[in-house]
Amino acid sequence: MDQMTMTFESCTPNISAAGVRRRTGAAWMAAIVSVAGFAALAATGAGPAVRALIGFPVLATAICVLQVRRNTCVKHAAMGTFEHNDFSTTRANDVAAQQSRRVALTIWRDAGLFTLLAVAIAVSSGL
């Protein structure tokens, strides 16, 4: 291959349109908390251990965003279910459940890496 390409595992979506809206709203809220938290840490001159706490809202933001982008809820993937617009769930078939679990692992991996980067920046920035 002469071009580097990044591919993501795909699967049948296990979240509904209503679930996408809910997770998008949660992502925005977590992003606002992350930015406000970082600003508060900068304003107070918090130490490195306290600055590392920014990882929690950053992780929540990353997970929500990736769930929406990849149409896969990590909770539903773990349970082997898919969500309907009324937020009820139905058991997924074995193949779909296995595919969802693989995508959920990539969500956890990528969200974790992003969070580690954000924490490293917050801790090393000296605010």
pLDDT tens, 80-116? 999 999 999 999 999 999 999 999 999 999 999 999 9
Q: What pLDDT band is residue 4 in, cutting at 50, 70 and 90?
A: very low
CB 97 within 8 A of CB 76: no
Task: For the chain, list the strands marked E by DSSP.
Answer: 81-83, 89-91
Dist. CA 12–CA 70, nearest whole Å: 10
Q: Give the up-direction half-sphere exposure of residue 81: CA atoms within 13 A in the CB hemisphere.
A: 10
Report whether 91 contacts 23 (CB < 8 A): no
Residue 100 exposed, middle or buried by CB count within 10 Å (0-12, 13-18, 19+): buried
